[in-house]
Chains A and B, each alone.
Chain A
Amino acid sequence: MPDLMKQSPYGTFLEHCKKGELAYQVSTDDGKAVFYPRVVAPGSGSTHLEWRVSKGLGTVYSTTVVYYKDEKPLNVALIDLDEGFRMMSRVEDIDSLEVKIGMRVKVRIHPGDEKQPPYPVFTPAGRGA
Chain B
Amino acid sequence: MTLKRGSVAVVGAAESDLGQVAPHTSPVDLMAQATLRALEDCGLKLSDIDGVFSAATQVRTAPMTLAEYLRIKPRYFDGTAIGGSSFMSHVAHAQAAIEHGLCEVALVAYGSTQRSVSRAAASPREFNPYETPYRPFMPSSAYAMAAARHMHQYGTKREQLAEVAVAARKWALLNPKAWEKEPLTIEQVLKSRMVSYPFTVRDCCLVVDGGGAIILTSAARAKSLRKKPAYVLGVGEALSHANISSMPDLTVSAASESGPKAFGMAKLKPADVDMLSLYDAFTITPILFLEDLGFCRKGEGGRFVANGAIAPGGKLPVNTSGGGLSYCHPGMYGLLVMIEAVRQVRGECDKRQVKNCEVALAHGNGGVLSSQCTVIFGGPSTV
Count A interface residues, CB 8 Å.
28
B239 within 8 A of A: no
Interface residues on B, range: 20 to 34
Q: Are B136 and A76 in contact (CB under 8 A)?
A: yes
B135 within 8 A of A: yes
Whole-angstrom CA separation of A66 from B148 in the bound complex: 13
- CB neighbours of B254 from chain A (8 A): none
- CB neighbours of A76 from chain B (8 A): 134-136, 141, 145, 196
Q: Are A119 and B141 in contact (CB under 8 A)?
A: no
Please tell me which stretch of A25-33, A47-55, A83-91 contacts chain B, meaning at least 4 of its Cβ atoms lie within 8 angstroms of it: A83-91
Q: Are B134 and A62 in contact (CB under 8 A)?
A: no
Whole-angstrom CA separation of A1 from B301 in the bound complex: 45
Q: Are B135 and A74 in contact (CB under 8 A)?
A: yes
Whole-angstrom CA separation of A97 from B250 in the bound complex: 20
- Write out, one digit per residue, whether chain A residues 98-112 have a CB within 8 A of any chain B CB (1) or not (0): 000110000000001
The residue of chain A having its C-beta at the shortest distance from the C-beta of B194 within the complex is A67
Q: Are A62 and B146 in contact (CB under 8 A)?
A: yes
- Write out, one digit per residue, whether chain A residues 4-36 have a CB within 8 A of any chain B CB (1) or not (0): 000000100100000000000000000000011
Q: Which of B133, B148, B245 contacts A64 (CB 8 A)?
A: B148
Q: Are A101 and B133 in contact (CB under 8 A)?
A: no
Q: Are B196 and A88 in contact (CB under 8 A)?
A: no
Least Cβ distance of B89 to chain A in Å?
Answer: 23
The residue of chain B having its C-beta at the shortest distance from the C-beta of A67 within the complex is B194
Whole-angstrom CA separation of A59 from B199 in the bound complex: 23
Q: Are B196 and A67 in contact (CB under 8 A)?
A: yes
Q: Which of B137, B149, B197, B244 has the most CB of A within 10 A?
A: B197
- CB neighbours of B144 from chain A (8 A): 64
- CB neighbours of A62 from chain B (8 A): 145-146, 148-149, 152, 250
B349 within 8 A of A: no
Q: Which of A78, A86, A89, A102 has the most CB of B within 10 A?
A: A78
B195 within 8 A of A: yes
- CB neighbours of A13 from chain B (8 A): 129
Q: Which of B133, B146, B197, B245 contacts A116 (CB 8 A)?
A: B133
Whole-angstrom CA separation of A90 from B141 in the bound complex: 12
Whole-angstrom CA separation of A39 from B311 in the bound complex: 49
B315 within 8 A of A: no
Whole-angstrom CA separation of A66 from B136 in the bound complex: 7
B159 within 8 A of A: no
Whole-angstrom CA separation of A62 from B135 in the bound complex: 16
Least Cβ distance of A51 to chain B in Å?
Answer: 15
Q: Are B245 and A88 in contact (CB under 8 A)?
A: yes
Given the interface contacts A63-B145, A64-B141, A78-B244, does A97 sit within 8 Å of B134 by beta carbon?
no
- CB neighbours of B195 from chain A (8 A): 66-67
Least Cβ distance of A128 to chain B in Å?
Answer: 23
The residue of chain A having its C-beta at the shortest distance from the C-beta of B150 within the complex is A62
A40 within 8 A of B: no
Q: Are B245 and A86 in contact (CB under 8 A)?
A: yes
- Write out, one digit per residue, whether chain A residues 66-81 have a CB within 8 A of any chain B CB (1) or not (0): 1110000110111000
- CB neighbours of B137 from chain A (8 A): 66, 68
Q: Which of A68, A73, A119 contacts B133 (CB 8 A)?
A: A119
Q: Are B245 and A10 in contact (CB under 8 A)?
A: no
Q: Are A87 and B245 in contact (CB under 8 A)?
A: yes
- Write out, one digit per residue, whether chain B residues 70-95 have a CB within 8 A of any chain A CB (1) or not (0): 00000000000000000000000000
The residue of chain B having its C-beta at the shortest distance from the C-beta of A87 within the complex is B245
- CB neighbours of A88 from chain B (8 A): 130-131, 134, 136, 243-245
Q: Which of B108-163 contact A (CB under 8 A)?
A: 129-131, 133-137, 141, 144-146, 148-149, 152
- CB neighbours of B245 from chain A (8 A): 36, 78, 86-88
Least Cβ distance of A14 to chain B in Å?
Answer: 8
Least Cβ distance of B207 to chain A in Å?
Answer: 16
11 contacts between A and B (CB under 8 A): A36-B245, A62-B149, A62-B152, A63-B145, A64-B145, A65-B194, A65-B197, A66-B135, A76-B145, A88-B245, A97-B197
Name B's A-contacting residues (CB within 8 A): 129-131, 133-137, 141, 144-146, 148-149, 152, 193-198, 243-246, 250
Given A76-B135, A88-B245, 17 extra CB contacts under 8 A:
A35-B130, A61-B250, A62-B250, A64-B144, A64-B145, A65-B194, A65-B196, A66-B136, A76-B145, A77-B145, A78-B244, A88-B131, A88-B134, A88-B244, A101-B148, A101-B149, A112-B133
Please give me the 5 A-B residue pairs with the lowest Cβ-Cβ distance, nearest first.
A62-B145, A64-B144, A65-B197, A88-B245, A62-B149
